[in-house]
Structure 1
Amino acid sequence: MAAVSSLGAGGCGQVFVALGARIVPAPDTTSTTLYLPEWYNSLDACSTAALTFVDDHPALTGVVLQTLDSPDSGPIAVSRVIDAAGDHPGTICRAAFAGRAAQPIYLGADRIREVIADMGAGLSAVRYLIEHRDDVLLVDCTDLGNPADSVL
């Protein structure tokens, strides 16, 4: 619930919660729940399904990714990442804590299909981020705390 609230409070107009391992309630007024039965394949299976859902909504200019099982970085980090992205379709922005890339991550709309294609070819989302690290804009959030880094 904290991560969902942080996304909404940080500036995400729509919040989609991808669930798989178990169904938990998400705030009805601020989010849409996507049940992904393929969650057991991998985190990338969930990410692919969620990104495909977003890609099917062309009015969206980008997506903020935050795994719900990682420490919540808070709404200010979400807001900073969104502001840094500036609605540019080719942008990749990541919160950084003490120089370490973390979450949340913003992918501009032009990046979403690239990530989906890579994951469809058996490559991971993490690999995409590593291969495009020179394109990633790190957004310093060190002053907000130091959430443990996750696989994304």
Structure 2
Amino acid sequence: MTGDDVTGGAVAGVAGVVLAAGAGRRMGSPKALVTIDGQPLVLRAVAALADGGCAHVAAVTGAAAAEVAEVLGRAADVAVLHNRRWASGMGSSVAAGLGWAATTTAGAVILLPVDTPGIGPAVVARLIEVWRDGGAPPEGVLAAAYDGRQRNPVLLGRRRWSDVADVVEGDEGARRWLRTHPDLVTAVECGDVGDPRDLDTPADVDRWVRQQRTARI
């Protein structure tokens, strides 16, 4: 059974959700608005999902919602979901994203934090490819792994959305559910095509930019 067959043909494709609601307290401003190479992180994440093959893309906003929504207006075909409970942590944004995904025809959803610029279309495309090829059961989950360590993003089969939404809270996002259901999680090695590091501070951003410039030389 392939990913698109999960409910007898009633669903198709993969949705993508950018988790971009945080205030970025350690960063000093919302991470969604942090710019690298002239591109805000939220647009970079949206492009990673869309260019990687997601048929539907949304971004969950919270802090500086108006400013982030204005930036998202530059992207085509992205749904903007304002999470009024964003201050309670990433869990509420995950729940909001899953609720939106349920309104689409997608058979799976990829959750991508906004502060991981090293996760690009190649990582997203690999998860989708594995899912379409039946690399995980429809009731299961794919997690990108880097040198064997599971990190972001994760792909959730549609049959697990309500289970995850029921338990997410605080800043853990979907991690609590993943930890308690390791038998349902399939790791997909992506270390050759992506970098899972998250950017938490201005120093992290500066370090990232320097390393990327060095890599281009």
Looking at CA atoms only, which structure, 1 or 2, has the larger radius of gyration? 2
25, 28, 34: which one aligns with 2:81? 34
After TM superposition, list the pairs within 5 Å mapping 1:42-61 onto structure 2: 42-57=89-104, 59-61=105-107
Tell me, which stretches of 5 or more residues in structure 2 are unaligned?
1-42, 200-217
Contact in 1 for aligned 2:91/2:173 (Cα 8 Å): yes
76, 79, 82: which one aligns with 2:128? 82
Counterpart check, 1:66 vs 2:123: no
- The superposition leaves residues 66-110 of structure 1 with CA deviations (integer Å, 9 ceiling, x where unpaired) of 011234411010010111122753130011111111112100000
Matching residue's letter, 1:119: V
Cα distance, 1:124 vs structure 2: 5.4
Cα 1:83–1:91 shift into 2, 3 Å = farther
Secondary structure, aligned partner of 1:37: coil
Looking at structure 2, the residues matched to 100 and 80 of structure 1 have their Cα atoms a distance apart, in angstroms, of 16
| Residue in 2 that maps onto 1:15 | 57
Structure 1 residue runs of 4 or more that deviate by more than 3 Å after TM superposition: none
Tell me, which stretches of 5 or more residues in structure 1 are unaligned?
none
Contact in 2 for aligned 1:8/1:30 (Cα 8 Å): no
Percent identical: 31
Looking at structure 2, the residues matched to 141 and 43 of structure 1 have their Cα atoms a distance apart, in angstroms, of 24
Cα 1:85–1:149 shift into 2, 3 Å = farther
Contact in 2 for aligned 1:10/1:79 (Cα 8 Å): yes
Looking at structure 1, the residues matched to 108 and 128 of structure 2 have their Cα atoms a distance apart, in angstroms, of 9
Cα 1:124–1:9 shift into 2, 3 Å = closer
Cα distance, 1:137 vs structure 2: 1.1
Looking at structure 1, the residues matched to 178 and 103 of structure 2 have their Cα atoms a distance apart, in angstroms, of 22
Cα distance, 1:126 vs structure 2: 1.0
- The superposition leaves residues 31-73 of structure 1 with CA deviations (integer Å, 9 ceiling, x where unpaired) of 111111110111001111111121233x221101001123441
Residues matched between the structures, number: 147
Counterpart check, 1:113 vs 2:162: yes
Contact in 2 for aligned 1:9/1:75 (Cα 8 Å): yes
Contact in 2 for aligned 1:19/1:33 (Cα 8 Å): yes
Contact in 1 for aligned 2:94/2:173 (Cα 8 Å): no
Identify the range of structure 1 (28-37 vs 75-84) with the bigger mean alpha-carbon deviation. Answer: 28-37
Contact in 1 for aligned 2:52/2:121 (Cα 8 Å): yes
Secondary structure, aligned partner of 2:138: coil
Contact in 1 for aligned 2:118/2:195 (Cα 8 Å): no
Identify the range of structure 1 (4-13 vs 95-104) with the bigger mean alpha-carbon deviation. Answer: 95-104
- The superposition leaves residues 95-141 of structure 1 with CA deviations (integer Å, 9 ceiling, x where unpaired) of 11111111121000001011012237xx8521101111222111111
TM score, norm. by length of structure 2: 0.62
Cα 1:28–1:147 shift into 2, 3 Å = closer
Counterpart check, 1:130 vs 2:184: no
32, 44, 66: which one aligns with 1:2? 44
